[in-house]
Structure 1
Amino acid sequence: MSQCCYALLPSRGDFMISGDTTMIDLLLASPLGSIAVISVVVLIVTCLYRVTVHPLSHIPGPLIPKITSLWLYYHAYIGDEATAIHELHNKYGPLIRVAPNEVDIADVDAVSPIYVSKGGFRKAPCYVNFDIDLHRSIFSALDPEQRSPRAKAVIPLFSTKSIRDNEAAIYGCVDTMVGRMQDESGSGKPVNVLNLTRSLALDAVSTHLFRENYNGISEKGEQLSASAFVDLFVGVGRFFYLPNVVFTWTEWAIGKLYPSERTTSSLAVVDKFVDDMVTHTKAGAQTYPGRLLAIGLTPSEVKAQCKDLMFAGTDSTGANLARICQELARSPDRYQALRSEVVSNLEAGTAKTDAQALPYLSAVVKEALRISMANPTRLPRIVPSSGWTFKGTNFPSGAIVGCSAYELHLNPAVFPNPQTFQPERWLRDNVTPEMRKHSFAFGAGSRACIARNLATTELYLATEKLAESGVLRGARPCKDSIEIYEWFNSRVKDEKVELVWGV
């Protein structure tokens, strides 16, 4: 190489950092480097703040949930949130910090102040992720002033009197389901009772509240036409805790990247049913859409409210009833005890007792509600501006707190062998005040499930008919247990609860 070429090269010292120059200096010398340094500093300071001086820093828990919500997002997404948090409670106690500003409480004494007293705390912002067609539903509405007139309009339809007046129609739906189960039980093939119980739940809801039967039980396909529609909204639970803007874009991206013909078809079927029903409903009619139209809601919003009801009513009640079928098939002795009680009652003539007053039948339903975990995870609420003190622990304004059915229903101090199905624990001589206090299947307070009376009635009537008919005699489960994704609304893995007869 010539001397001319050497002259054009920088000297060795030009590549070296002088004793007074640091890597930080070099990074700060460029805009991108400055941003990187500032970002790292902000991240470190934020983490230190959340761990040491944040208003919730006194709440126990592992390090990662204290510094980032990603831990909670991850477990919600993979569907083991309730189990993961339960393990933390076993290690750290009844108060667990599951995100920088969120606390899970495994103490039944927290239920009243959070959900009941003075109307309870306000719902957390993440509930708006359950909006339907850009409308707040009775379930997802955060503002009491928005929810109140809508709830008041339809509450009479869920009264005991209204349900009893229409009991014959609900029994008709139950009879149709039992008949189909009897027909399919003779095929020698596994019968997906979850599909049948979901179909019944949808038919019962539409028959009672819309006065128009969806007729899902009569469908001959392997899966209810509305199932994919229901599963779509159940799947929202994977992203329940995401900020609404992030959730909206995530939902949009998934729809674009992973389109589902089955879901699209199911949505079209449900939309047509709801569109036709609302279009032909007169404002003031004593039905769910009629009463909502009467208070001035637009047809678009009424349709959204009806779809929300169809989703919620189908998913939770269908899962609970499928669990009853599974457990009774696993335990022929219990099924026989139930059947004996029901048949004896039917033979009592004028002395016949209402199904909901039968001791063993009631015990079966209550135990199914306890163990089925249709809604297993925390029901998050915001601590009010005045703050909140619970058993000597202070929670600042704006903190998100809540209890879960998983923690309350599986408390071994209240329910020995909590994972096992034992209806006998609900018989009169065995019931304790603590057991009643820990029942959280429908939530609590003014924001508890608006359809709990209807859902409970469906379970009683269906369980009674399952016993009376003897349809579960000789049935056995294809799997020993029902595995679920622990989302806000749980989802049965593989979407099947199968029984087989005569094998």
Structure 2
Amino acid sequence: MTSTLLFQASPGLVFTAAAGLLTAFLVYRAFFHALRSIPGPLTCRLTSLWTFYHSYIGDECTRIDELHRAYGPVVRIAANEVSIADGAALAPIYVEKGGFMKAPAYSNFDIEGHSTIFSTLDPAHRSVRSKAVVPVFSMTSIRSRQETIEECVSKLVDRLTNEAAWSRTASKETGQSRAINVLNLTRSLALDAVSSYLFGKTFGGISEQGGKMSANPFVDTLVAVGRFFFLPNWAFLTLELARARFWPDHEADASAQKVDNFASTLVQNQESDPFSYQSRLLKAGISSHETEVQCKDLIFAGTDSTGTNLATLLWHLAKRPDVYQLLREEVAEADGQDPAYNPQSLRYLDAVVREGLRISMANPTRLPRIVPPQGFAFEASNGRRYFLPGGTQVGLQVYTLHFNPKVFPEPHAFRPERWLDDPTPEMQRDWIPFGVGSRQCIARNLATTELFLAVRAIARHDVLAGAEAVGEKIEMLEWFNSKIKGEKIELVWR
């Protein structure tokens, strides 16, 4: 009888014990955790679900920015994670002594079981691969083979000129605006420039006719991974397996197969160009399969980021015809004086590209790092001191830095002139479109060169004459790699 009563009571006891343990755990996180002195909402002090949710729905950067306005420059956004909104923290976290180690979440961007140069957590693993390919990203190498990129830019100008003529004619004949999705075209340029210059073989995106470029679904699938970027790796892999099994995307699969075939061909024919990215990796002892993976990672990153940056820049130039006219005048004057000049020497063009990179933010979210065992003491610009214990995840949002009104007045306005009148040290410090420190984008020089050459060519040939930007603003989902809503940035010519 007694044993029966105990047996019947045990489920209640188990539930009570579990509830007690959970309550104690939450009380510990809220009031006794090592981060208890860092301000933040109660929800964030208790769980990471708040950040996971807002990352998924794509408003994470905006919401964290609001937390900083409410709680200050250092805020607790999860049980063991802190966001900092003060650019003074960039150097100690990302630069000094190589910076803090990347957070485990970067492993979620591994591809087919291989860590990429971007995703690997191990500096030694990265070093072997980066040392093999770094020479092709030097400005000296890029300038020596710049004609390869210029050929791609020339094809883009021709394609965009034809699309503009079609838009202008259609609008006149029908009385209705016929918009051109320039994001599709700029992605095509980015992919062709990366493949032509780095791989020695063009993908041929600009030449593709019809709707969106064939590689776009592949790129978009990897962009969508960013909504789950901050999940623990086991949860991320579980969701990805479930998505592939229960919600297959046949268009994305076909696109991925085409990219796979292209990367495979690159590796098989690597001896044709010893300069190429794939040849250098193979000579460094990297396996054929991993070399294909590294090539596909560059195809994704180069296409998405530079394509987004350039399309956003063109949209803003169409919105600001006064800026476009000044740009055209500077390019025309430089062309008349020395046709062989370096476009990056043009002061106004430099300001336009800088402002475009500031406002477009292909990677708007925080760049998470892990505080080393000795902890991290930080004195914010407001004079308050903070201490983060070892093991804390910490990062700064590009979104918050680039849209900080104290550093960039009218931060959401496209104002290239802000870079002409003695930009402040804070502006120079907080402008980080390619990240900062030893783990910043390895292809930043190539991406910048593409932008300078493309914007100069468009101004030189007056491609945006009569162009109008569609919409009041460009809306994006704030994932690790931003996703343009509707996958369109449109212009119409009249």
TM-superposed deviation, 1:37: 2.3
Tell me the matched-pair count: 478
CA contact under 8 A between 2:467 and 2:493: conserved in structure 1? yes
CA contact under 8 A between 2:375 and 2:388: conserved in structure 1? yes
Q: 2:25 aligns with which of 41, 46, 53?
A: 46
SS at the partner of 1:444? coil
Q: 1:193 aligns with which of 182, 186, 191?
A: 182
2:382 paired residue number: none
Q: 1:486 aligns with which of 460, 478, 488?
A: 478
SS at the partner of 1:91? helix
2:447 paired residue number: 455
Q: For the residues of structure 2 that align with 1:494 and 1:148, how far apart are their CA atoms? A: 38
2:435 paired residue number: 443
> 1:196-224 deviations in whole A, cap 9, x for unaligned?
00010011111111011111000003111
1:262 and 2:254 aligned: no
1:322 and 2:289 aligned: no
TM-superposed deviation, 1:30: 4.8
1:299 paired residue number: 288
> 1:374-397 deviations in whole A, cap 9, x for unaligned?
110000000001111111311111
Relative to structure 1, the CA distance from residue 270 to residue 35 in structure 2 (aligned partners, 3 Å threshold; closer, same or farther) is farther
CA contact under 8 A between 1:226 and 1:266: conserved in structure 2? yes
2:207 paired residue number: 218
1:229 and 2:238 aligned: no
CA contact under 8 A between 2:75 and 2:84: conserved in structure 1? yes
1:386 and 2:386 aligned: no
CA contact under 8 A between 1:28 and 1:37: conserved in structure 2? no
Q: Which of these two proteins has the greater Rg computed from alpha carbons?
A: 1
1:115 and 2:94 aligned: yes
1:372 and 2:360 aligned: yes
1:3 paired residue number: none
1:249 and 2:238 aligned: yes
Q: For the residues of structure 1 that align with 2:393 and 2:267, how far apart are their CA atoms? A: 37
Runs of 5+ consecutive residues of structure 2 not aligned to the other structure: 168-177, 380-384
RMSD: 1.7
1:356 and 2:352 aligned: no
Matched to 2:477, the amino acid is Y
Higher alpha-carbon deviation: 184-193 or 306-315: 184-193
Q: For the residues of structure 2 that align with 1:227 and 1:172, how far apart are their CA atoms? A: 22
SS at the partner of 1:446? coil
Q: For the residues of structure 2 that align with 1:26 and 1:236, how far apart are their CA atoms? A: 52
1:86 and 2:74 aligned: no
CA contact under 8 A between 2:373 and 2:391: conserved in structure 1? yes
Relative to structure 1, the CA distance from residue 34 to residue 228 in structure 2 (aligned partners, 3 Å threshold; closer, same or farther) is farther
SS at the partner of 1:329? helix
Matched to 1:37, the amino acid is T
1:37 paired residue number: 16
2:404 paired residue number: 411
TM-superposed deviation, 1:34: 3.9
Give TM-score, length-normalised by structure 2: 0.94
Q: 2:491 aligns with which of 465, 483, 499?
A: 499
Q: For the residues of structure 1 that align with 2:285 and 2:112, how far apart are their CA atoms? A: 18
Give TM-score, length-normalised by structure 1: 0.93
CA contact under 8 A between 2:200 and 2:273: conserved in structure 1? no
Runs of 5+ consecutive residues of structure 1 not aligned to the other structure: 1-24
2:81 paired residue number: 102
> 1:341-390 deviations in whole A, cap 9, x for unaligned?
1011111136x631101011000000011110111000000000111111
Between the aligned residues of both structures, percent identity stands at 52
SS at the partner of 1:154? helix
